Amino acid sequence: MTDPEPKRLRSGHWLLIGIVALLVVGIFTVTRRDRDPDDKADGVTTAPTASAPAGPVCAPKVAETGQSIRQGLVNFGIVVTSDCPQAAVASQLDVVAIGTDGKELTGDQAKARIFLSAVLPGQRLGAGGKLLVDINASIKNIRVSVSNTQNVPADAFSSWPTVHVADIKHSGPDSSGHTQVTGTVVTDPSTAKPCDPTYYLLLRNGAGTLIYGAAATGSEPSFDERLPSGIDWAKAEISVAMGTPPLGTVNTQQLTCQ
């Protein structure tokens, strides 16, 4: 005759397994509730990010462009303005050279991308850079498109000082054909430090047409450039773009150097 005891043990084992499974599910559920993402742990704060705009995004407008070309090297300048009620942040300027036939010029560096961290309501801001095209290319103008702009309240930048560059000076050209250009940064309040500045040199001819642009970083604006002829130095300006270009969703504390 077969002993029935093992069968009873097996049934008991199944009962114990069921109880343990219920306990595990209960513990997991309590743990998930304790880790509800809407609950904040003591001492933990979340950095503010830009909220999704209620309406269409308001982006800066390209008000002016200009360029010069020498042996395939294109130096371009751009002026953007903003009539947005909020700050326009993280804007991407894509720049391409257009030939005299109306087509985009090609080459490994025939396109450039400039990131403007923030353009504030009513602000006028300059930018500039370089393109490299075929040495025999003829250029008609440059084309600039603006994308990826996000909008955040302008008061996020209330800690920023007013900044401009005064006393622009130049010397040269030297024996290599380079001209050095410098300027003095003026802030209001005077003790303020600009937030991660990039300096853009914009040069015009006697008619006021923008013919050259260049970029520099550092504590003070300083440029070493091979410049075209016909510059009216009375019309020279150095624009200051501030802010740390964000990656992905805008973190306003990081953007404003706080």
Total domain count, the chain: 1
19 within domain boundaries? no
Q: Which residue has the higher pLDDT, 257 or 11?
A: 257
Residue 37 placed within a domain: no
Give the confidence band of 99 by pLDDT, cuts at 50, 70, 90: very high
Q: Is residue 235 part of a domain?
A: yes
Instruction: Write down the pLDDT at residue 47.
Output: 37
Range of the domain at 234: 61-255
The pTM (predicted TM-score) of the whole model is 0.77
Query: With 80 as the cut, is the pLDDT of residue 191 above it?
Result: yes
Which two three-digit tokens encode residue 114? 């400039």
pLDDT in tens, 23-77: 444 433 434 444 343 333 333 333 344 444 456 899 999 999 999 999 999 999 9
- On whether residue 14 sits in a domain, the answer given is no
97 part of a folded domain: yes
Question: What CATH number is associated with residue 106?
Answer: 2.60.40.3230
Residue 17 maps to a domain: no
Note whether residue 168 is domain-resident: yes
For the chain, count helices (H), then strands (E): 2, 13
Whether residue 6 has pLDDT greater than 90: no
Which DSSP symbol is given to 12? H
- Report the alpha-carbon distance of residue 149 to residue 37 in Å, rounded: 29
* 229-233 CB contacts, 8 Å cutoff, 24+ apart: 230/205, 230/206, 231/203, 231/204, 231/205, 232/204, 232/205, 232/206, 232/208, 233/168, 233/170
What is residue 60's predicted lDDT score, i.e. its pLDDT? 97
